[in-house]
Chain A
Amino acid sequence: DIQMTQSPSTLSASVGDRVTITCRASQSIGYWLAWYQVKPGIAPKLLINKASSLESGVPSRFSGSGSGTEFTLTISSLQPDDFATYFCQQYNSNLWTFGQGTKVEIK
């Protein structure tokens, strides 16, 4: 299995902050990586696919980068609606795996 490791597991930040979350793969996955936003009671939201391609309707303050084994999700200016848990997912192999999640909390 390809293991996905996210860091940090928890992040405390303020509205307006620039936030970066890292996801590392245990082997190269090319650019086959997605990022999701998960909130309680709400359907998870796909933010980014193919490492850096923003899904339709997702605010431009979200961006993704990376390839191979190291990837980042950046929120350029954190908004109140962005406090949530974020997961990465690799889809390089036929066994889809997710990171353990990064919870973005209000500082």
Chain B
Amino acid sequence: KAGVTQTPRYLIKTRGQQVTLSCSPISGHRSVSWYQQTPGQGLQFLFEYFSETQRNKGNFPGRFSGRQFSNSRSEMNVSTLELGDSALYLCASSRPSGGSDTQYFGPGTRLTVL
């Protein structure tokens, strides 16, 4: 069974630009969560999508948004990039959860903002 895939793996952008990251979950998984990982803050939850609806949201500004398609693939968008947005962005998929499912992570997208 193929794992979670994320594209692109690496991105370099400049301040003020916008970026879109993509995540394809494991086949049959309907929940996709996004996380930001930085050396200073560690792993922080961005949002979770389930059946094309945002189910949970972390404490990030509105510049961070996402969506999920009918095939469960998800995209994350960051507008008006700032230097502090440089991070590893990870997505994770799981089956529908009651709070008890293992999350399977992709390899991440490394975003560098210059």
A binds B: no
Chain B contacts to A: CB under 8 angstroms: none
